[in-house]
Amino acid sequence: MKRPAPRLITSSPPHLLMPLAALALVLLYDALTIPGFFHVEMRDGHLFGSLVDILNRGAPVLLLALGMTLVLSTGGVDLSVGAVMAITGAMAAGLIARPEGFVLAGLDLHGSAPAIVAVSLVAGLAAGLFNGALVAFADVQPIVATLILMVAGRGVAQLLTAGQIITFEHPGFQFLGSGFVAGLPFPVTVAVAMFLVTAALSRGTALGLFVEAVGDNPTASRFAGVNARMVKLLVYGFCGLCAGIAGLIGTADIKAADANNAGLYMELDAILAAAIGGTSLSGGRFYLSGTLVGALLLQTLTTTILTKGVPPVLTLVVKAAVVVAVCLLQSPKFRSVAGRRFRREAT
């Protein structure tokens, strides 16, 4: 049962108001307490500064969150994105640093960066389609279905890296993590491009409408003739692809594949970014612009904590609090209780 949201949250533009206000607050705090926080300078034709850093670090979270937003909107969730990041990262690193095994398997890319990226992304897409098949065709609950890959995915990644942290040097591939395009870090460019692609994919076709319809009322969508299985398969596949791109950026950035820690707990950041942006965790409407703001807010929080010299692990505690806060704000039961109390105090 959906209740009308309290006015505070629904006034227009409904989904962006709260996260934008929160983002502004955090930025204001930074401006007041961290000297030079807003300082951006040009060095060798590249932009540097805390803000650029936030964009750069926030890119992988945003990438994950884009796919996650669509998945959440269908009423599902993908817990495996972190593991999928590890898989694609390990795949790329393996192809660069230890191509012998792949060559034996008939895969000889001659160290070509585009080919390595393409092959790794196919792996990410395949992982997403695997999740999608379980959810759409085997009717497994999304949490459970994606849990499988969350468990086994890191094993697969370790298998690819033979359990070691593979380091590599490959200027072409490293560009993905540390290159610059038009003064901006390349990850930012990729994230912006994927944001546009996601928007085009969901709003330029009927996919967005179908996703929202399936998540909001599955039965009504079925009766209207929406092919829910196909929609879910596509969306999980896309989520896997997004996670794959994020994994490649992460790997290229540190010039190494760490199967154990790549993307660890990133699934929560992705879910949080989407939820902060107003996408319902129980399915229905999704807001890509909200997800963008949500991802930026999360990264700004993290960067703030890091810059303030507070122990970085405090971000974990802060995020725990944000999760609960966002959940409570979305909970109809909490809203009705809080609303009642508010009204009682007002009278």
Partner 1 sequence: MRRPPSQPSPSASRKGKEPLRFLNRSTFPFAATVLVFVLLYVAASLHYTGFSRPQVFLNLLADNAFVGVAAVGLTFVILTGGIDLSVGSAVGCGSIIIATLVEKQHVHPVIAILLVLAMGTTVGSGMGALIRYFDLPPFLVTLAGLFLYRGIGLLVSMESVSIMHPLFARLSMAGVPLGDAGSLQLSAIVFLLVVAVGIYLSRHTTFGRVTYAIGGSEQSALLMGLPVGRTKMGVYALSGFCSALASVVYAVYTSAGNANAGTGLELDAIAAVVVGGTLLSGGTGYVAGTLVGVLIFGVIQTAITFQGTLSSWWTKIAAGTLLLLFILLQRAMHRRAR
Partner 2 sequence: MRGIRRAFPGVVALDGVDFTLRSGEVHALMGENGAGKSTLVKVLTGVHPRDAGEVRLNGSLIHPASPQDAQALGISTVYQEVNLIPGLSVAENIMLGRLPRRWGRIDWGAVNRRAEVAMGRLGLDLDVTQPVGSCSIAIQQMTAIARALDVQAKALILDEPTSSLDAQEAQNLFSVIRKLRDEGLGIVFITHFLGQVYDIADRITVLRNGKLVGEYETASLPRLELVARMMGRDPDEVAALESARPADAAKAEERKPFLSVRGLGRRGSIRPFDLDVAQGEVVGLAGLLGSGRTEAARLLFGADRAETGSVTAGGRSGAPGSCREAIAWGLGFCPEDRKAEGIVPNLSVRENIALALQARRGVLRRLSRKQQTEIADRYIRELNIVTPDAETPIRSLSGGNQQKALLARWLAADPRLLILDEPTRGIDVGAKFEVAKAIEELRAAGMAILFISSELEEVVRSCGRVAVLRDREKIGELAGPDVSAQGIMATIAGSQPKGSTEAEVRL
Nearer to partner 2 among residue 67 and residue 284 (C-beta): 284
- Choose, by CB under 8 A, the member of 79, 123, 125, 207 that binds partner 2: 207
| 138 lies in the binding site for partner 1 (CB under 8 A) | yes
| 140 lies in the binding site for partner 1 (CB under 8 A) | yes
CB of 268 to partner 1, least distance (A): 5
CB of 342 to partner 2, least distance (A): 21
The one of partner 1, partner 2, none whose footprint includes residue 205, by CB under 5 to 8 A per kind, is partner 2
| 227 lies in the binding site for partner 2 (CB under 8 A) | yes
The one of partner 1, partner 2, none whose footprint includes residue 281, by CB under 5 to 8 A per kind, is partner 1
Q: Rule CB under 8 A: which of 266-295 touch partner 2? A: 284-285
**Which stretch in 235-243, 248-256, 288-296, 331-339 sits in contact with partner 1 by CB under 8 A?**
331-339
| 206 lies in the binding site for partner 2 (CB under 8 A) | yes
Give the chain as a 3 state SS string.
CCCCCCHHHHCCCHHHHHHHHHHHHHHHHHHHHCCCCCCEEEECCEEEEHHHHHHHHHHHHHHHHHHHHHHHHCCCCCCCHHHHHHHHHHHHHHHHHCHHHHHHCCCCCCCCHHHHHHHHHHHHHHHHHHHHHHHHCCCCCHHHHHHHHHHHHHHHHHHHHCCCCEECCCHHHHHHHHCEECCEEHHHHHHHHHHHHHHHHHHCCCHHHHHHHHHHCHHHHHHCCCCHHHHHHHHHHHHHHHHHHHHHHHHHHHCEECCCCCCCCHHHHHHHHHHHCCCCCCCCCCCHHHHHHHHHHHHHHHHHHHHCCCCCCHHHHHHHHHHHHHHHHHCHHHHHHHHHHHHHHHC
> Interface mask (CB under 8 A) for partner 1, residues 155-194, using x and -?
xx-xx--xx-------------------------------
The contact set with partner 2 (CB under 8 A) reads: 2, 4, 204-207, 209-210, 212-213, 216-217, 219-227, 230-231, 234, 284-285
